[in-house]
Structure 1
Amino acid sequence: MITGMSGAGRRTAAHVMEDLGWYVVDNLPAILLPNLMGVAKVNGLHRVAVILDVRSSALVEQLPLTFSTLAGDGIEPEVLFIEATDAVIVKRQESSRRPLPLQGDGRLVDAIVQERRLLSTLRANADMVIDTSNLTVHQLGSRIAHAYGGERDQMVRIAIMSFGFKNGLPIDADLVFDVRFLPNPHWVPELRPMTGLSEPVSNYVLAQPGAGDLLDELEKLMGIMAPGYVREGKRQLTIAVGCTGGKHRSTAMSEELARRLRATGYHVGVIHRDLGLE
């Protein structure tokens, strides 16, 4: 189930899932979900995604009964919630010149507040929340492809996001680690123009005291936490690694952490949120 705030990127997520081979149904009333699942079963459709566009409180009220009916058929929907800040939604809606579903003749900001209130319970119980405020379309597509591009297994899927603290914390991160304790390559003239994706910067960062120790501890931490997440039904984990601008230290450390976790057997994707913004 793909839901979330209007203007946050629900349909972008749906388009990516279509490209991944999912059968996607747009704007289906929640009460019809059991019927859709019956049709899917008869026709051998194993991966079905539904965009749930909450347009009224009545539709929200239908969800508990709908979920209960699906549970009776042995179906437990996974909910993907797409959101963005009010300011970003306003900017996007003004650019598209389309009103929000709940706007009517009222103000755009009031419609956003109402929609966020209606969706609050659904967001709180979502399996995965993605905040698209600072993501490009391609970055969102990468997140979706990583999470839903293959058959689900018994391991948590990990998204590692490098970022710069000066651009704000990623609010959809489950774990945030600060690597500003490492010397900044920005102050090394020959390294300043490069990024953490380059070998010279990566070698410089990883050679600093404490870098390897932190990566070792993060590996151990995942060994402790990941099985617990799976037991609790959480299969998507976002780890944010931050430095000042998101160009050197966080990028290099994120890539190395991803390499180590992949070698351990985890499904890992990497997003460099602020690379290129400096």
Structure 2
Amino acid sequence: MTELEPVKPAESELVIVTGMSGAGRTTAAHALEDHGWYVVENLPPQLLGTLTELVARVPGSIPKLAVVMDVRSKSLFPALRDNLAALRSAGIHYRVLFLDASDDLLVRRFEQGRRPHPLQGTGRILDGIAAEREVLRELKDAAEIVLDTTPMNVHALATAITELFSESGPVVLRLNVMSFGFKYGLPTDANYVADVRFIPNPHWVPELRPHTGLETVVSDYVLAAQGAADFIDRYILALEPVLDGYRRENKHYATIAIGCTGGKHRSVAVSEEIARRLRQLPGVTVTVNHRDLGRE
């Protein structure tokens, strides 16, 4: 690997787009291009430092640079870790966008496309997916942004990319508050998970059962329950130093997941209230989605 000489930090934004094969890298790349990003696809990891240094030495030449990298060359991919470390040492700041999806969805996408997984060799598609997860494990852990594209079609993924990267001016901290039901599994892209099953369940109140946490009758019941307001107050206070730390570490996206049993009543109401409170913090944008609302 070639040593990078220290350079003045570039004014350009640099995003490394990577993740699981079939999770939507191409769609993400097209969405970034639509918003004025200069996108380089399938760049060998060894050339990342050279490309970035050239951009850094001509400030303003490419204000938004996105580099899409995959794992098709398993032997070359470990070099990416070294090159990313070299970027940090050279004072070049970047973010990593990691796209993930469930094994079942990835298998379906490869089967529909009638093409093998790049790492499956003579084995099954699932073998290739497992090998790829192992190769990418450290990179995913270190990524500033992890998007689970399992519930997204191409339009929803493009919208998510737009929300993350199309704003002008200083990058703010973008928070996604997600309600979910534990019985449907933990969200794979959650940075923080809170359990609100300590609140009495409106499901067992006949007149509340058919309603959701988006409706005032349920929200009032949930938020008035013993301990609910105290939990929300303390949770917001606990998050404030975390969010400050994210800014210091140049992390710009986090998912906060709030779970109850089915994702219909308590988690929905509490998520909405937490999102309302977080929007009052400076330098923060907040979106809310209710993963399991409407499921039986």
**TM class, shorter-length:** 0.7 to 0.9
Q: Label 1:112 to 1:198 Cα distance change in 2 as closer, same or farther (>3 A).
A: same
**Of 115, 120, 126, which residue of structure 1 is paired with 2:137?**
120
**Of 236, 245, 265, which residue of structure 1 is paired with 2:253?**
236
1:162-220 CA distances to partner (integer Å, 9 max, x unpaired)? 10011001132121111122222333444333322233322332232222222211221
> Match for residue 89 of structure 1?
106
- Per-residue deviation, 1:244: 1.2
Distance 2:85 2:244 in 1: 27
Partner of 2:176, secondary structure, is: strand
Structure 1 segment 17-56 matched on structure 2, within 5 A: 17-37=32-52, 38=54, 41=58, 44-56=61-73
Distance 2:106 2:287 in 1: 26
Partner of 1:106, secondary structure, is: coil
1:29-78 CA distances to partner (integer Å, 9 max, x unpaired)? 22333454325847632121121011123321432453355446532321
2:19–2:98: 8 Å Cα contact kept in structure 1? yes
Q: Label 1:136 to 1:247 Cα distance change in 2 as closer, same or farther (>3 A).
A: farther
**Of 113, 126, 140, which residue of structure 2 is paired with 1:109?**
126
Q: Label 1:15 to 1:245 Cα distance change in 2 as closer, same or farther (>3 A).
A: farther
Q: Label 1:71 to 1:187 Cα distance change in 2 as closer, same or farther (>3 A).
A: closer
Cα RMSD for the two superposed structures: 2.7
Q: What is the aligned residue count?
A: 278
Distance 1:132 1:7 in 2: 10
Moved more, 94-103 or 267-276: 94-103
Partner of 1:44, secondary structure, is: coil
- Per-residue deviation, 1:121: 2.8
Structure 1 segment 201-240 matched on structure 2, within 5 A: 201-240=218-257
- Per-residue deviation, 1:155: 5.5
Q: Gaps (5+ residues) in structure 1?
A: none
Moved more, 55-64 or 107-116: 55-64
Distance 2:169 2:134 in 1: 31
1:72-124 CA distances to partner (integer Å, 9 max, x unpaired)? 65323211112233333223322332222223443212211222222223223
Distance 1:18 1:200 in 2: 44
Partner of 1:123, secondary structure, is: helix
Over the matched positions of the two proteins, sequence identity in percent amounts to 52
Partner of 1:67, secondary structure, is: helix
Q: Label 1:192 to 1:20 Cα distance change in 2 as closer, same or farther (>3 A).
A: farther
- Per-residue deviation, 1:267: 1.8
TM-score calculated relative to the size of structure 1: 0.86
The answer to whether residue 160 in structure 2 is matched with residue 147 in structure 1 is no
1:160–1:241: 8 Å Cα contact kept in structure 2? yes
Partner of 2:75, secondary structure, is: helix
Distance 1:65 1:182 in 2: 47
2:180–2:267: 8 Å Cα contact kept in structure 1? yes
Distance 1:2 1:136 in 2: 18
Partner of 1:258, secondary structure, is: helix
Q: Label 1:96 to 1:194 Cα distance change in 2 as closer, same or farther (>3 A).
A: farther
The structure that is helix-richer by fraction is 1
- Per-residue deviation, 1:259: 0.9
Q: Label 1:16 to 1:91 Cα distance change in 2 as closer, same or farther (>3 A).
A: same
The answer to whether residue 25 in structure 2 is matched with residue 10 in structure 1 is yes
Moved more, 204-213 or 175-184: 204-213
1:135–1:273: 8 Å Cα contact kept in structure 2? no
2:177–2:256: 8 Å Cα contact kept in structure 1? yes
Partner of 2:188, secondary structure, is: coil
TM-score calculated relative to the size of structure 2: 0.81
- Whichever residue aligns with residue 104 of structure 2, its letter is A
Q: Gaps (5+ residues) in structure 2?
A: 1-15
Distance 2:232 2:124 in 1: 48
